[in-house]
Amino acid sequence: MTPSAAPRHPLTIPAFRAYWVSRLAGTVAVSAMAIVIGWQVYNIARQTMDVRESAFLLGMIGLAQFVPLFLLTPVVGLAADSLDRRWIVRATTALLLVTAGTLGVLTWADRLTLGWLFAAAVSFGVARAFAGPAYSALAPNLVPRESLPTAIAVSSIAWQVGTIAGPSVGGFLYAIHPDVAYGTACGLFALALAVMFLIGPVAQPPVQKDHRVLARITDGFAYVRRNRLVLAAITLDLFAVLLAGATALLPIYARDILHVGSRGLGLLAAGMGIGAALTAAWFSFRPMRTDVGVKMLASVVVFGLAILVFGVSRSFPLSLAALVVAGGADMVSVYVRSSLIQLHTPDAMRGRVSAVSQLTISASNELGEAESGLMASLLGPVGAVVAGAVGAIGITLLWSRLFPELKRARTFDPPETLELPPHDGAKA
């Protein structure tokens, strides 16, 4: 490509198209399973427990997913930088396919228990621990560097569209019969696995031969700590969603507050995805170019305000609208964070830095679900959502003072050269 040529749109590249379809199909399937599992856990728990006790158990599903991801984070990033990233995604997608099939059979046979649901959550955590860094590190290998910001937005569309379709499909198919939802998820995982085999060999960073395994594992954490702009973006998103995430409590709102049942649950769960997908679609055609740090800070404040409205609302249309706005604001934060990580990180480090990023994302999501369940058991679901939203706004104001680098970030442009931590590539 000549310097004056316009960047290629990522979807004109066959390998990236296959990657995009795989991510879309896999996300729809994961989102459908997540909402069905949460609904089944809450319904089983409510047979013998009150709302607050059931809310606590619902939060523990998130913790069951987070623990294996937390324990595996030191090695999954190194795996993504050392092994073929395509095969990591293929293997983890196969694990998810087996998990969905097992739950489907147990549901069909009416032998599903809370134990099986928690075991499935652990399996989810293991699969996502390895798949996340591999997926994130693979995308930059499939497109030219000048197309990467657009590729991030287009990849986010696949993820966000999946979060729209998945919960809606899961909720509606569950209303027909629960095992139908699991059967659909199996078909989508099979598609995601099949198209990954359409991606041919890609450039892989050279594997270091210094045998300093522990040093290479900790390099990802060291790099994030040294780059204060990346550190600010990652930790702001972590604490905001950890505090203000309300997705774990959606079954409670659907059943006991808004009284809309499983169909309404599907729509509520899709709400944030709708707003996020619309925002990501906009960025895919009009990438953000200026004042990226300030826009991220503003978006997190809007996110907190929208969750606050959702928490106190008793109107289903207003609740759904608030979640749509929250999803759009969250997508701005995701877009800025993802772009900074990908463009400010050397390719040889992307797997490990992506693993650190994934750990914080999972902490904000799955660990946030556990926090939401615990707070709901103490303050009630409405009190937990309101307190979390106020906390997220406060964190944003604090971060704007602690990390002036974020306010000063005008564009995504990284330094001319990206330095590796001292251990990476060092000779023994």
* More reliable by pLDDT, 313 or 287: 313
Number of domains within the chain: 1
Q: What's the mean pLDDT in 193-211? A: 73
**43 domain-assigned:** yes
pLDDT value of position 238: 80
- Identify which has the larger pLDDT, 133 or 114: 114
**Is 342 within a domain?**
yes
For 245-273, the pLDDT digits (tens) are 777 788 889 888 998 887 788 788 778 87
Chain segment 80-93, per-residue pLDDT in tens: 777 888 999 999 99
- DSSP classification of residue 257: I
Question: Which amino acid, 146?
Answer: E
What's the CATH code of the domain at 317? Answer: 1.20.1250.20
Both tokens of residue 417? Answer: 């050269």
* Residue 424 pLDDT level (bands cut at 50, 70, 90): very low
Percent of the chain beyond pLDDT 70? 84
Mean pLDDT of 381-397: 92
Hey, what are 42's tokens? 């809450």
Report the sign of the C-alpha dihedral through residues 396, 401, 402, 405, in that order: positive
Q: What is the pLDDT of residue 149?
A: 72
- Whole-angstrom CA distances from 336 to 19, 153, 156 are 21, 10, 12
Q: 199 and 134 in contact (C-beta within 8 Å)? A: no
Neighbouring residues of 29: CB distance < 8 A, sequence distance ≥ 6: 96, 100, 166, 184, 185, 186, 188, 189, 192
Tokens of 114: 């809370």
Domain contains 426: no
Residue 425 has pLDDT above 50, yes or no: no
Give the per-residue pLDDT at 395.
Answer: 93
Distances (CA, A) of 350 to 134, 305, 332: 9, 33, 21
Report pLDDT digits (tens) over 170-187.
Answer: 777 877 787 788 888 999
pLDDT at 76: 76
Does residue 425 fall inside a structural domain?
Answer: no
The answer to whether residue 312 is domain-embedded is yes
Q: What is the mean pLDDT of residues 95-112?
A: 91
Six-digit token pair at 124?
Answer: 């989810």
For residue 123, the model assigns a pLDDT of 92
pTM above 0.75, yes or no: no
Q: Is residue 376 part of a domain?
A: yes
Give Cα separations from 287 to 2, 275, 277 (angstroms): 21, 17, 14
Would 374 be classed as within a structural domain? yes
Q: pLDDT digit string (tens) for 121-148?
A: 899 889 988 887 788 778 778 888 777 7
pLDDT at 417: 47
- Nearest Cα neighbor of 275 from 318, 325, 333, 322 is 325
Confidence label for 398 from pLDDT (cuts 50, 70 and 90): very high
Asked if 55 and 46 count as a contact pair (C-beta separation under 8 A), the reply is no
The arithmetic mean of pLDDT across residues 43-52, rounded, is: 82
Between 119 and 265, the more confident residue is: 119
Q: What does the pLDDT look like over 343-372, one tens digit per residue?
A: 777 766 666 676 677 667 666 666 677 777
Task: Say if residue 217's pLDDT is above 60.
Answer: no
Quote the pLDDT of residue 361.
67
Higher pLDDT, 318 or 53: 318
Query: Which of 24-38, 220-234, 348-362, 411-425 is the most confident on average?
Result: 24-38
Which residues have a Cβ under 8 Å from the Cβ of 114 and sit 6 or more positions away? Answer: 41, 44, 45, 57
As a whole number, the mean pLDDT across the chain is 81
Residue 98 in tokens: 């087996």
pLDDT for 305 beyond 50: yes
pLDDT exceeds 60 at position 427: no
Name the pLDDT band for 409 (thresholds 50, 70, 90): confident
Q: Which domain holds residue 101?
A: 10-200+211-408
Is the residue at 415 inside a domain?
Answer: no
Confidence at residue 204, expressed as pLDDT on a 0 to 100 scale: 62
